[in-house]
Homo-oligomer: A and B are copies of this chain.
Amino acid sequence: MELSDRKLQILKAIIDDYIDTGVPVGSRTLSKKPGFEFSSATIRNEMADLEELGYLDQPHTSAGRTPSDMAYRLYVDRLMHIDRITKDEAMFIRNYFNMRINEVDEVLESAAKALSDVTKHISMVIAPQLDDVKLKRIQLVKITPTKAMLILVTDNGLVQDQMITIPVAVDARQMEMLSNMLTDMVQNVSLKKAEEVIRTTGAESILEHKAVMDEVLDAININREKKELVYGGAQNIFNYPEYKDIGKAQHFLQILETKDMLYQVLSNATDLEFSIHIGRENQYEDFKDMSIVTATYKVGGKKIGSFGVIGPTRMDYARVLSVLNYVGMSLSDILSCLLETDQNK
């Protein structure tokens, strides 16, 4: 059954009001809004219908109505209106990135901080996902007699490094040779497939330096599996009346600190431009009264990581989306600029 225009109008007004105030909305409140021609009784009837259809909840008999997950879903799909963020806000966000930033990690932290400060929700950002990124170069640098640094350079300019232990004596020249050999093998191969390619195409050279190669392959795998995530604005949890219960808040902070769930959520969202999960749409029971909105950032035109905010279902989706959009653009710009000066020249 399709909702009548009036029902939609009322539903939208309820959601807008509830997002704004956080207080269950009563019929009288609505009827006094400018542009509302109907009496409170009419609205009450419509509200009763909407409740029956599953769009509204009533915390208790004598309270106003609150939107259900279903209502928010309808809202984000059809009712809400997204404005572009204001110039001032754009400036404000840009400022978070304007400091001297040299490392990818710092960019991510800045983004998380910007997001949480601007949206007043908890923000999260994952580091670039490397699995599908193609390698450009592998370099081994001898640091001490038994340690070397392994440097992986990807074709979008990301540089990852890691210390490895060299179990047998290898001099600097040999290491240079190994580097060149490895680079030849993995050119344009994704990190995911690097091990396989090295093991097959480089079979004989591996045997020669087996001990070192094993360390290198180990290190590559560790890098692949590295799960890096930053979050920000944890203290915003206190803005959510849902979490005024200390026990719940504590539990939630625990979840944040573990990071595992957030990581799952974000890594599942790496290919979609935007994603919105409302309440029980989330895969985790713990997020059943939270909404998660995510977006992706790009480096070199390729979606490579995602970020988002998590907050109560009562969230200003329109605003969050516009902020996410802008932060995504900024993030992509900054990273591309940080990493790809060569290509730009």
- A residues lining the B interface (CB < 8 Å): 100, 102-103, 137, 139, 141, 143-147, 149, 151, 153, 157, 159, 161-163, 165, 222, 232-235, 238, 244, 246-247, 249-250, 253-254, 257, 341-342, 345
Contacts and interface: CB of A to CB of B under 8 A. Distances in A.
Contacts of A249: 235, 238
B153 A143 contact: yes
A241 B233 CA distance: 23
B141 A151 contact: yes
Count copies of this chain in the complex. 2
Contacts of A161: 149, 161
Contacts of A253: 234-235, 238
A342 B103 contact: no
A324 to B, nearest CB: 21
B149 A341 contact: no
Complex A-B, nearest 6 residue pairs according to Cβ-Cβ distance, in ascending order: A235-B253, A238-B250, A235-B250, A144-B342, A238-B246, A235-B254
Contacts of A247: 238
Contacts of A254: 235
Contacts of A144: 153, 157, 342
A342 B167 CA distance: 11
A159 B163 contact: yes
Given A161-B161, A235-B250, A235-B253, A151 B153 contact: no
Contacts of A165: 341
Contacts of A102: 162-163, 222
A235 B345 CA distance: 48
A345 B147 CA distance: 13
A178 to B, nearest CB: 14
A171 to B, nearest CB: 14
19 contacts: A100-B222, A141-B141, A141-B151, A143-B153, A143-B159, A145-B342, A147-B341, A147-B342, A159-B163, A161-B161, A234-B234, A234-B253, A235-B250, A235-B253, A235-B254, A235-B257, A238-B246, A238-B249, A238-B250
Highest count of chain B CB atoms <10 Å: which of A137, A162, A341: A341
